[in-house]
Amino acid sequence: MLHDFSPLVTVLIPVYNGADYLGIAIESALAQTYPNIEVVVVNDGSTDDGATERVALSFVGRIRYVRKENGGVASALNRGIAEARGDYVSWLSHDDFYLPAKVATQVDYLRLLEAPETLTFTAIRLVDETGATIRDHIVEPRWLRDVVLTVLSTSVNGCATLVPRGAFEAVGVFDEALKTVQDNDLWLRMALAGVPFAYLPVPLVGSRLHAGQTSVRIRDVHAGEKELFYTRALRAIGPRFAPLANDILDILEAKQLPESASLARALRGKAHA
């Protein structure tokens, strides 16, 4: 077991026009039972007459607040990573919230693993607009047998992660050209670079479902980006594809991605030829 392992963790909250929920997110970060935390809020050029900024500034002295021109979630995350002083980054969307033991549970797990370079992620609790529980989402064991399947099945929720700084140093940060799949793109790059992933099947994040979510607001962009992500991914995973082909095809068909599924069938045919 790692002794005296109490790394600084940066809880990073990107926000755009998020006054309705931002205060709840910040409070949940500040209420973490793990003591060695800093909270960084990045305002991505909100256009709500200062409402988002007023919420953030009400926590002055307890958080660090950064303003930037609007550039999308990936750019806000990247700015936050650049500002972070922590050994680990814990992303929290402005409309989600952490349960009190989220960070402590992950740090304790790293201590037990004696593998501080591991990216850990937890289960999530789906909640409605009011924060009431809809259901807990636990990753199926099928998707955990290979980290490629874990990522392609979108089982890694960004707000459930605790990412070691070394993982960013190994593969870089979020692709700012992507608006809705920037997280899955980064997790896949990390997985293929050999960053170890570990799953904790305990719901420690409240993931809010509501009409204002980015993937809902720009649904057409999201659909196109999903196809782009999966076609890129199929080519990137190389020889790891063949033993996972049937599972990957099941993922693509379930997500109704015809272009990616067609490519997967072609690659499976070549692998079996």
Q: Is the pLDDT of residue 54 over 90?
A: yes
Q: Is the pLDDT of residue 143 over 90?
A: yes
Instruction: Note the pLDDT of residue 246.
Output: 95
What pTM value is reported for the model?
0.93
Q: Is the pLDDT of residue 8 over 80?
A: yes
Please provide the average confidence, as pLDDT, over all residues in the chain: 94
Instruction: Note the pLDDT of residue 4.
Output: 84
To which H or E segment does residue 40 belong? strand 37-44
Q: Domain coordinates of the chain in residue numbers?
A: 9-211, 218-273
* Arithmetic mean of pLDDT, 267-271: 85
Range with the lowest mean pLDDT among 83-87, 93-97, 214-218?
214-218
Q: What is the pLDDT of residues 219-256, one digit of tens each?
A: 778 888 999 999 999 999 999 999 999 999 999 999 99
Q: Which fold has domain 9-211?
A: Spore Coat Polysaccharide Biosynthesis Protein SpsA; Chain A (3.90.550)
Q: What is the pLDDT of residues 57-66, one digit of tens each?
A: 999 999 999 9
Instruction: Note the pLDDT of residue 181.
Output: 95
Instruction: Note the pLDDT of residue 212.
Output: 67
Question: 90, 3, 94, 93: which is closest to 56 by C-alpha?
Answer: 94
- DSSP letter string, 29-83: HHT-S-SSEEEEEEEE---STTHHHHHHHTTBTTBEEEEE----HHHHHHHHHHH
